[in-house]
């Protein structure tokens, strides 16, 4: 149409400053942290030759791991790489805005309801009432009696529906709560949105964009992650899924964000809960290596596992912890040891199903993670490990 200007975003991309130009600005702003090339190289384990090249040339884009290491070192959020700028001066004006917010940085007058734990906001009587409901009563409430119940009660009901994997019903309840003009809705807005993001992220829903929109707001604007670092894990997971949904066009920017967020979540979580972020980091280390350099750097995974082992005391009755330990060993090439761990847990499960809980969902989750990883890396150790796990599980089901 005459008089209409059309801007091709892909064509404009070449005019944005590259990662190396951003890096030069970052070290200029944080020169006291950077110190010098030798010190930075030693602390980040980024090669000096790479650093010299970055400092000489402003037209280089970094690989995923380099960007993650820089974010971690300077304590910057992942958005430092995804946001676009047309010149260095423009970027320098805002680079300090990418510093991660810590608890000690928050003003004393920040709204307290930001930091209310998701598990503790329901009144005890509401939880008890919800737990006592049978399926027919729940169905009747959803169909006829929602207007008669409080938002607090309905939130407790949404969490029960989620625990029973009734995701659509839980989302319907959350949507109803969001429409109510209630004190509960305003006081616990962040917790309600948190649960909604969890539901949107479910494998049966896969509304990754919807979940990401909520989680980014909770993280970057509300700083809710300081109380609930789980939202960082959830945001990282959605970035990862979205980035890897098409093997022929992997989104490296989203993978960078996923790695950065898993790293941040790992640091914020208590020691006993770090294992989940750690194993996701390990998988992404190998996946990004397969995408960018075609070989896996086992030293990084070994160091991560060593660091985790110093603080993690594995609960051998917990499938998720045992399988995570086995997955780490599999990634490090110790497949036989990994297989023996799985064998021991499944034998204990057969002898004591209540003490060593294991179900179809747990197996499917592990299988889905491994199959995606195998598709992207063609890791023969993972193939052997997955086949062994599935054969054992089929044997248990048949028995």
Per-domain residue ranges of the chain = 9-100, 122-187, 270-398
Question: pLDDT at position 123, please?
Answer: 61
Question: pLDDT at position 177, please?
Answer: 95
Number of neighbouring beta carbons within 10 Å of residue 106: 13
Give the position of tokens 């989203």.
254
Share of the chain above pLDDT 70, in %: 91
Residue 114 has pLDDT above 80, yes or no: no
What is the pLDDT averaged over residues 254-281?
Answer: 96
Residue 116 has pLDDT above 60, yes or no: no
236/232 Cα distance (integer angstroms): 6
- Residue closest to 316 by CA, chosen among 357, 366, 369, 277: 357
Question: pLDDT at position 128, please?
Answer: 77
What is the pLDDT averaged over residues 103-111?
Answer: 55
Confidence class of residue 120 from pLDDT cuts 50, 70 and 90?
low
Report DSSP state, residue 354: T
Q: Which token pair is 103?
A: 């608890």
Query: Residues in the chain, how many?
Result: 399
Question: pLDDT at position 5, please?
Answer: 46
179/215 Cα distance (integer angstroms): 20
30/76 Cα distance (integer angstroms): 11
Question: pLDDT at position 305, please?
Answer: 97
Residue 23 has pLDDT above 50, yes or no: yes
- 295 by Cβ neighbours in 10 Å (0-12 / 13-18 / 19+) ranks as exposed
R_g of the chain, CA atoms, integer Å:
24
Report DSSP state, residue 99: B
113/124 Cα distance (integer angstroms): 19
- Mean pLDDT (the chain) is 90
Question: pLDDT at position 341, please?
Answer: 97
- In this prediction the pTM is 0.89
Q: Distance between alpha carbon 141 and the CA centroid of its chain, in Å?
A: 34
Question: pLDDT at position 4, please?
Answer: 47
Confidence class of residue 214 from pLDDT cuts 50, 70 and 90?
very high
Question: pLDDT at position 113, please?
Answer: 47
Q: Which of 15-24, 107-116, 367-376 has the lowest mean pLDDT?
A: 107-116
Confidence class of residue 247 from pLDDT cuts 50, 70 and 90?
confident
């Amino acid at each position: 149409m005459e008089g209409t200007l059309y801007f091709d975003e892909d064509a404009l991309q070449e005019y944005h400053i590259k990662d190396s130009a951003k890096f030069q600005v970052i070290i200029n702003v944080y020169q006291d942290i950077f110190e010098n090339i030798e010190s930075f190289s030693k602390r980040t384990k980024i090669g000096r030759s790479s650093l010299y090249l970055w400092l000489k040339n402003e037209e280089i884009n970094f690989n995923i791991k380099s960007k993650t290491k820089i974010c971690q070192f300077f304590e910057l959020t992942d958005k430092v790489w995804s946001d676009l700028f047309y010149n260095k001066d423009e970027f320098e004006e805002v680079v300090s805005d990418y510093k991660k917010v810590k608890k000690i940085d928050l003003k004393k007058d920040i709204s307290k309801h930001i930091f209310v734990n998701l598990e503790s906001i329901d009144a005890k009587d509401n939880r008890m009432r919800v737990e006592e409901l049978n399926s027919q009563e729940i169905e009747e409430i959803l169909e006829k009696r929602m207007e008669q119940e409080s938002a607090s009660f309905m939130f407790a009901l949404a969490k029960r529906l989620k625990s029973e994997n009734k995701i659509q019903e839980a989302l319907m309840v959350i949507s109803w709560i969001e429409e109510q003009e209630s004190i509960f809705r305003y006081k616990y807005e962040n917790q309600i949105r948190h649960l909604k993001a969890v539901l949107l992220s479910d494998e049966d829903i896969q509304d990754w964009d919807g979940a990401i929109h909520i989680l980014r707001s909770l993280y970057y604007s509300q700083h809710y992650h300081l109380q609930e670092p789980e939202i960082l894990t959830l945001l990282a997971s959605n970035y990862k899924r979205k980035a890897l949904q098409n093997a022929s066009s992997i989104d490296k920017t989203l993978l960078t964000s996923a790695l950065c967020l898993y790293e941040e979540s790992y640091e914020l979580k208590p020691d006993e809960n770090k294992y989940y972020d750690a194993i996701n980091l390990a998988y992404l280390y190998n996946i990004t290596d397969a995408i960018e350099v075609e070989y896996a750097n086992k030293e990084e995974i070994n160091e991560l596992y060593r660091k985790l082992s110093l603080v993690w005391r594995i609960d051998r009755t917990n499938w998720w912890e045992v399988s995570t330990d086995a997955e780490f060993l599999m990634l490090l090439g110790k497949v036989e040891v990994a297989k023996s761990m799985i064998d021991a847990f499944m034998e204990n499960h057969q002898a004591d199903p209540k003490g060593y809980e294991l179900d179809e969902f747990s197996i499917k989750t592990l299988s889905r993670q491994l199959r995606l990883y195998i598709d992207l890396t063609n890791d023969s150790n993972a193939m052997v490990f997955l086949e062994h796990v599935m054969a054992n599980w089929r044997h248990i089901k048949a028995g």
